[in-house]
Amino acid sequence: MTSGNPDYRDSGLRFPEGFLFGSATASYQIEGAAAEDGRLPSIWDTFCRTPGKVRGGDNGDVADDHYHRFDQDLDLLKDLGLDTYRFSIAWPRVQPTGSGEANQAGLDFYSRLVDGMLERGITPIATLYHWDLPQPLEDEGGWPARHTAERFAEYAAIVGRHLGDRIGTWTTLNEPWCSAFLGYGAGVHAPGRTDPLAALRAAHHLNLAHGLGVQALRSVVPRDAQYSVTLNFAVLRGDGPDGADAARQIDAVANRIFTGPMLTGGYPADLLADTASVTDWSFVQDGDLVDIAQPLDVLGVNYYNTALVSLWDGVGEKQMADNHGEAVASPYPGADRVQFLPQPGPYTAMGWNIAPDGLEQLLLSLREQFPDQPLMITENGAAFDDVLEDGRVADADRIDYLRRHFTAAHRAMRQGVDLRGYQVWSLLDNFEWAYGYSKRFGIVHVDYETLERTPKDSALWYSQLATSHMIPE
Ligand code: FCB
């Protein structure tokens, strides 16, 4: 750790030329227009209509209506002076049933969106899959089924052929851990299954989809492009004598289950041993590990908070303060004895602990594990209970959160981490999955009645940072 303000509020920090300041969103969270121009339901449309799954019965039918207001949203990015926009493409818009013919109207939307970015001097970072699996593919088995990975590669090729002349950075998947383990293990995300074997199979087929997807893109994209994936890393602290083993177990089933095959060519031996009572991993076929291990130009890192773990002694109640909502089933197959302990505050409106030192720790640990791998923060940000008053949102808490996390990133860079950019989550308040519209992560406020956008104080602060490269005092 370098010296500086113990609270990560250093002053006078400057980011290098070429560092990419941007902001991120995802299709289902902002687009709306759920049944327009040929889009068919995804697993999230279905999940939202399943009683009790999403807070307040909210859904993405209208969301921020970005589908019709994207020009205004791109103007916001430009006015803020941001370099990059990390957005996602909705598979059910581009290939509504998940296989077969492409839907030209869906492709045309993303074509207009990308052209709009380029006209405004904003560099697109496109994510192919931010959780909106076409429902027909779930009906045929979803991510636990191998053919979903093959369908994904076909979809990637369609998008690559149509947008490949204009997109410089491609991200295959956003947070496959959430897709596999919250979607098929804990059941708190779509499609809401609670089956540890299905979750592990899903993780492997997401890995495979990533590898086949990169290969499919490379074969059709007509220009030099960068390839990446975005992972959400569990940043672990161990408590008590068995804390280190508890942290190792979660590191295996949350982090190394993806970085192992993607970056080092295989699944870690301890993961296979920990999960032996669930599966023998015979769903991994010859050649899969070669397909998955595609060289990546940049690894996307999402970071929000840390986790404190220990081994449960079997006496008393096992604690699961791990912030996955009302999960009744564990999202950690093979790690049944690990418990998640409450952590000291302060907290965001999600109840997530604010820990900028965790971001520094994560970046340093990734550099140690993968020394030559350039990194990009593809999500970091915070939900707070914002108040819009007289046309202004004075979100000092979000500014402080961002200031401290940008300081952490800067400290990591000073220690040699090759960090290429930082995409703040999120540009707009939006549909926060199982929490519906109750949590606001935007640097721009959205009034869900009028859909009016109002940049919060944090947006203005971030604009100063992005344009000067200095963390504002
Ligand atoms: C991440 C998701 C993103 C958003 C943030 C708060 O897990 O990738 O869509 O919901 O959390």
Q: Whole-model pTM above 0.75? A: yes
Q: What digits encode the pLDDT tens for the residues 229-253?
A: 999 999 999 999 999 999 999 999 9
Question: Pocket residues for ligand 1 (CB within 6 Å)?
Answer: 26, 29, 174-175, 178, 232, 302, 379, 425, 432-433, 441
pLDDT for 328 beyond 80: no
Residue 439 alpha carbon, nearest atom of ligand 1: 6
The rounded radius of gyration (Å) of the Cα atoms in the chain is 21
Verify whether residue 368 is a known catalytic residue: no
pLDDT for 82 beyond 80: yes
pLDDT at 3: 56
Q: What digits encode the pLDDT tens for the residues 460-473?
A: 999 999 999 999 98
**Nearest one of 432, 346, 452, 351 to 26, comparing CA atoms:** 432
pLDDT for 374 beyond 70: yes
**Fold observed for domain 20-233+293-303+344-467:** TIM Barrel (3.20.20)
pLDDT for 322 beyond 80: no
% of the chain beyond a pLDDT of 70: 98
Question: What's the 227 CA to ligand 1 centre distance in angstroms?
Answer: 20
pLDDT for 409 beyond 80: yes
pLDDT at 1: 42
Domain boundaries, the chain: 20-233+293-303+344-467
Beta bridge partners of 375: 299, 419
Q: What digits encode the pLDDT tens for the residues 157-214?
A: 999 999 999 999 999 999 999 999 999 999 999 999 999 999 999 999 999 999 999 9
Catalytic residue among 31, 175, 360, 432: 175
pLDDT at 128: 99
Q: What digits encode the pLDDT tens for the residues 56-80?
A: 999 999 999 999 999 999 999 999 9
Q: What does residue 467 show for φ and ψ, rounded to 5 degrees?
A: -85, -25
Ligand 1, atom 4, residue with closest C-alpha: 432
pLDDT for 122 beyond 50: yes
pLDDT at 42: 99
**Nearest one of 107, 99, 175 to 137, comparing CA atoms:** 99
- Residue 421's SS3 state is strand
Among 33-37, 328-332, 366-370, 380-384, the least confident range: 328-332
The Cα–Cα gap between 102 and 158 comes to: 7
Verify whether residue 175 is a known catalytic residue: yes
**Mean pLDDT, rounded, for 428-449:** 98
Q: What does residue 245 show for φ and ψ, rounded to 5 degrees?
A: -70, -40
